[in-house]
Amino acid sequence: MITKKQLQLFDFIKEYVSENGVAPSFSEMQDYLGLKSKSNVHRLVSALEQQHLLHRTPKMARSISPENMPSGAANDVVQIPLYGKIAAGLPIEAVANETETISVPASMTGNGQYYALLVEGDSMINAGILNGDTVIIKRANQANDGDIVVALIDGYDVTLKRLRKKASSIALEPANPAYETRIFTTDRVEIQGILAGLMRSY
């Protein structure tokens, strides 16, 4: 999983290298991100290295460059539409306006179409999905039992829940014992996507 702050740093480094031929200094990264200490920058860079988005030559200043980035890393970010908020709790009115886009790691996407939604609520916390997260959704109108899905209920309410298929009904199951599983007839629920990943800002 890549956080929003890591992605922000990656985009900055990529653009800086493209314009200057060398990587930014840690002080420049710190200033750009508005961080209080360089140790926070080091942690972000290390996280990007662990995800194979950056490569750094040890003990060499400004050692991140197009030549020693992994092949294809400079293009390892894609733009997808950000539609709005989705409830991880009680359903809220569906947001379908493509008003803006966000950058996400290409590793979070594949064949098909993807979009992003901002999570509002805490009903999926035990699945690692927190209030304020950005979820990456693959468009789909079918899902397997146990998938975490975007479900449209009665044509106007949308929610993020785990899908459980019954003989003649669909159960939308939370990942928080404070919430109850809701059961609907199949004609009331339309699957609009399957969870593909998430990003988190700290």
What are the pLDDT digits (tens) for 114-154?
999 999 999 999 998 999 888 999 999 999 999 999 999 99
Whether the pTM exceeds 0.75: the reply is: no
Domains 4-75 and 77-199 share a fold: no
Map out the domains of the chain as residue ranges: 4-75, 77-199
Separation CA 66–CA 192 (nearest Å): 38
Residues of the chain with pLDDT under 50: 59-61, 65-75
Query: How much is the pLDDT for 70?
Result: 44
Number of neighbours of residue 126 by Cβ within 10 angstroms? 11
* 104 in Cβ contact with 137 (< 8 Å): no
Q: Quickly name the fold that domain 4-75 has.
A: Arc Repressor Mutant, subunit A (1.10.10)
Separation CA 120–CA 86 (nearest Å): 6
Residues labelled as active-site residues:
123, 161
Query: How much is the pLDDT for 45?
Result: 84
Separation CA 38–CA 112 (nearest Å): 39
Query: How much is the pLDDT for 94?
Result: 60
Query: How much is the pLDDT for 143?
Result: 94
Architecture of domain 77-199: Ribbon (2.10)
On average, the pLDDT of the chain sits at 81
Query: How much is the pLDDT for 82?
Result: 86
Apex CA 23: angle with CA 21 and CA 25, to 5°? 135
Element (H, E) at 202: none
Separation CA 164–CA 70 (nearest Å): 40
Element (H, E) at 106: none
